[in-house]
């Protein structure tokens, strides 16, 4: 491993298929324990990017290093540090879950008791311990997806790459998958996660790169991205009392950029809705306003994506 530097560093990646330039100068870094999301619609270049990052596909230009080791399609050392969970379920249906894991473990030079023990651990993580010796073809779609993930993390990679791992998965399995990824990240594994589900990116990712038409249009934490487009939180207070008067006083609180009062509702625009919630409620109480409900509407990555690309994520 490359000391305290990033686990993954990608610079200026380019890939062309015939007339189509699928990836155009993509670059990003991922630190240990960080989950980085590539958020973009279908056809944005996510899968091509991770194919180059994982050494599956030769790049036309650019550099990728994993723990300081240059990645190519033939370099074996960096491949030992990567676990790939492809978008399609890439397992052998006629092998059992345990046999699938054992086969791929042996390819990563795991053997004997250490391999058997690790297989048991992974089966527990993906919730398939009780079905370990059943053939994968008898599994539900969600169970196959979980086995697909288990194979990727079997050899304890420094970087786990997941390419839209929850596509076509039922809500229960989806939640189990997301929880597994959160646990892995908490254990210090670097994760590169591609998705076109905004809510998954918001839940899992420390940083997000918004990718469209082969380019990263913006990158940062969710809040940085929201702030970059000037969107603000909206505090909606349903109440009764002298609302117009109180609305003007709310506008004087630090961080508040605007207020409005209507029929039983006061709305407050702020950079950080959570930060002004407490002083706002105190002010309302002091003014004799009876509050019946409060909601904070935060601008989301969908709004950011719409702002940056002019289209919705699922277009």
Partner 1 sequence: MRAAWIIAMKDLALRIRDRSLFVLAIIAPLVLALVFDVVFGGTVGGEDAGLDLSFGVVDLDAGPLSDSFVSTLDSIAADGLATVTGFGSSAEAVAAVEAGEVAAAFMLPAGMSAGYLAGGGAEIEIVGDVDAPTTVGIATSIADGFASASRTGAMAAATALAGGAIGPGDMAEVAVEAAAAPPPVTLGNIDAVTRQLQPPTSFVAGLAIFFMFFVAGAGVTSMLEERSEGTLGRLLVAPIGRGSILAGKSITSIIIGVGSLAILVVASAYLMGAEWGPPLGVAGLVVSAVLAVVGLMSLVGGLARTPEHSANLQAIVGVTFAMLGGTFVPIAPGEGILATLQYLTPNGLFVRGLGDLAGAGVSAAVPTMLSLLAIAAVAGVFAVVVVARRLQR
The least CB distance from residue 116 to partner 1, in Å, is 16
Residue with tokens 């009764």: 240
Nearest residue (CB) to partner 1, 106 versus 244: 106
Give the Cα separation of 44 and 255 in Å (integer).
36
Our finding on whether 48 is near partner 1 (CB under 8 A) is no
Q: How many residues does the chain have?
A: 315
CB of 178 within 8 A of CB of 203? yes
- Cα→Cα distances 72→14, 53, 66, 242, Å: 14, 9, 11, 68
Strand partners, 61: 14
Candidate segments 8-16, 100-108, 173-181, 245-253, binder of partner 1 by CB under 8 A:
100-108
The DSSP result for 181-217, as a single string, is: HHHHHHTT-EEEEEES-HHHHHHH-SEEEEEETTEEE
The least CB distance from residue 152 to partner 1, in Å, is 9
Interface pick for partner 1 out of 36, 104, 193, 305 (rule CB under 8 A): 104
The least CB distance from residue 266 to partner 1, in Å, is 54
Interface pick for partner 1 out of 39, 67, 89, 160 (rule CB under 8 A): 89
Subset of 126-185 contacting partner 1 (CB under 8 A): 151
CB of 137 within 8 A of CB of 99? no
Phi, psi for residue 148 in degrees, rounded to 5:
-55, -40
The least CB distance from residue 134 to partner 1, in Å, is 14
Interface pick for partner 1 out of 30, 39, 67, 82 (rule CB under 8 A): 82
CB of 211 within 8 A of CB of 304? no
Candidate segments 33-41, 106-114, 258-266, 300-308, binder of partner 1 by CB under 8 A:
106-114
Candidate segments 102-110, 121-129, 185-193, 302-310, binder of partner 1 by CB under 8 A:
102-110
Neighbours of 296 (CB within 10 A): 15
Give the Cα separation of 59 and 81 in Å (integer).
19
The least CB distance from residue 197 to partner 1, in Å, is 21
Our finding on whether 54 is near partner 1 (CB under 8 A) is yes
Our finding on whether 76 is near partner 1 (CB under 8 A) is yes
Q: Give the HSE-up count for residue 184: Cα atoms under 13 Å, Cβ half-sphere.
A: 32
Our finding on whether 296 is near partner 1 (CB under 8 A) is no
Q: Which residues bind partner 1 (CB under 8 A)?
A: 54-56, 58, 73-74, 76-77, 79-80, 82, 84, 86, 88-92, 94-95, 99, 103-104, 106-109, 151
């Amino acid at each position: 491993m490359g000391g305290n530097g990033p686990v993954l560093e990608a610079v200026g990646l380019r890939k062309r298929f015939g007339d189509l330039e699928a990836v155009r100068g993509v670059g990003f870094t991922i630190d240990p324990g960080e989950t980085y999301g590539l958020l973009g619609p279908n056809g944005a270049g996510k899968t091509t990017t991770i194919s180059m990052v994982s050494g599956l596909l030769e790049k036309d230009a650019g550099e990728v290093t994993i723990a300081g080791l240059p990645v190519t399609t033939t370099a074996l050392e960096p491949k030992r540090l990567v676990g790939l969970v492809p978008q399609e379920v890439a397992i052998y249906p006629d092998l059992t879950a345990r046999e699938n894991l054992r086969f791929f473990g042996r390819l990563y030079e795991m053997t004997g008791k250490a391999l058997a023990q690790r297989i048991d651990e992974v089966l527990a993580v993906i919730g398939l311990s009780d079905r370990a010796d059943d053939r994968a073809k008898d599994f539900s779609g969600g169970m196959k997806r979980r086995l697909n993930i288990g194979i990727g993390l079997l050899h304890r990679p420094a970087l786990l790459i997941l390419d839209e791992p929850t596509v076509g998965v039922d809500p229960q399995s989806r939640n189990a998958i997301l929880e597994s990824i959160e646990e892995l990240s908490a254990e210090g594994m670097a994760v590169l996660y591609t998705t076109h589900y905004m809510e998954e990116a918001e839940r899992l990712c420390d940083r997000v790169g918004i990718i469209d038409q082969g380019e990263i249009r913006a990158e940062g934490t969710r809040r940085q991205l929201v702030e970059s487009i000037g969107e603000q939180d909206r505090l909606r207070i349903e109440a009764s009392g002298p609302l117009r008067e109180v609305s003007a006083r709310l506008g004087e609180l630090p961080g508040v950029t605007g207020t409005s009062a209507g029929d039983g509702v006061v709305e407050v625009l702020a950079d950080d809705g959570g930060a002004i919630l407490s002083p706002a409620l105190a002010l309302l109480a002091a003014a004799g306003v009876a509050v019946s409900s409060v909601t904070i509407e935060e601008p989301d990555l969908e709004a950011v994506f719409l702002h940056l690309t002019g289209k919705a994520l699922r277009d």
